[in-house]
Amino acid sequence: MMKKDKYIRFDWAVKRLLRDKANFDVLEGLLTVLLDRQIHIIDILESESNQQDYDDKFNRVDIKARDSENEIIIVEVQVTRELYFLERILYGVAKAITEHMALGELYSEVKKVYSISILYFDIGKGNDYLYHGQNTFTGVHTGDHLQVTVKERDALVQRLPSEIFPEYFLIRVNEFDKVATTPLEEWLDYLKNDYIRPDTTTPGLKEAREKLVYYNMTPTERAAYDRHVDAIMIQNDVLGTAKLEGRIEGRVEGKAEGLIEGEEKGVVKVARNMKKLGIPLDSIVLSTGLTIEEIERL
């Protein structure tokens, strides 16, 4: 019975299991809870940023799905901080819009895109574990929200820009520290602690209890998964050291951007030390997020 209580991390499930149509119900559950409406995934779309291999860096793992409303949902899991994170998710959404609009199509064919980022790093200041952003046009003097006339099914209708423009969800996993009492909190408990209540009725999690069990994997799959978890632990330790060094260096430099600059320098310092110890380049890449070219120049 105890064996059944160990579940596969979500970032690994995204890479290996949730792309399988038989497991869509797990991802559908998360999206249903997050978007507060029933989501049915039709298929998983190809994306240049889809990552399948163990040797991929941990800084991005994503799924791009199309739902029954013909809308596009990008789910991204990111373990380590990236300097230009906001710019990249904006680019990813823009690319999804243009990729799925054929040349010559009317603008009415533009697809609504939802960008969902599951983050295991400190993106900045904020007290909540879930942030939601969408476009609205607000009157500067009146404070009202503009409704735009659009043509839909051969009729003119009023629509809010938020019904057309992309929406962004940022889930800050490490900021979650509550006792899970709601479906969303249960999902956060799984994302952070790999825990699922035995009596859960939360969409997706009751399916995950059957499909994301660690001991259901083959010995080969478990070995690969264990290497993945070990690499993440090493990486977090390396980045934790770099962050500490960055804080010290930032205080010494006495400027607001000192922490970020110091943290980057700390990562380089750690990578240089790992290289001196003869640690293989691919391990240094996985642990620091630097490229092979950057490491070779150290």
DSSP 19-39: TSGGGHHHHHHHHHHHHTS--
Q: What is the dihedral of CA 177, 178, 184, 190, to 10 degrees?
A: 60
Q: Cα separation of 264 and 258, whole Å? A: 10
CA of 44: how far to CAs of 20, 26, 66, 102, in Å?
9, 14, 6, 19
pLDDT of the residue at 116: 96
Instruction: Provide the token pair at 156.
Output: 């003119």
pLDDT of the residue at 195: 93
pLDDT of the residue at 273: 77
pLDDT of the residue at 192: 94
Sign of the dihedral defined by the CA atoms of residues 244, 230, 26, 206, in that order: negative
Instruction: Provide the token pair at 108.
Output: 């009415």
Q: What is the pLDDT of residues 103-150, one digit of tens each?
A: 667 777 888 999 999 998 878 888 999 999 999 899 999 999 999 887
pLDDT of the residue at 262: 57
Residue 251 has pLDDT above 60, yes or no: no
CA of 93: how far to CAs of 33, 82, 98, 251, in Å?
21, 17, 9, 37
Q: What is the pLDDT of residues 161-194, one digit of tens each?
A: 888 899 999 999 999 999 999 999 999 999 999 9
Sheet holding 167-172, edge to edge: 41-45, 61-67, 72-78, 113-119, 167-172, 130-134
Q: Check if the beta carbon of residue 76 is closer than 8 Å to that of residue 90.
A: no
Q: What is the dihedral of CA 79, 38, 133, 65, to 10 degrees?
A: 50
Q: What is the pLDDT of residues 35-60, one digit of tens each?
A: 999 999 999 886 544 444 444 444 45
> Residue 104: left if φ>0, alpha if ψ -120 to 50, beta else—which one?
left
pLDDT of the residue at 162: 87
3-state helix, strand, coil in the chain (%, to 5): 45, 15, 35
Residue 283 has pLDDT above 80, yes or no: no
Helix (H) / strand (E) containing 157: strand 155-159
Percentage, residues of the chain above pLDDT 90: 40
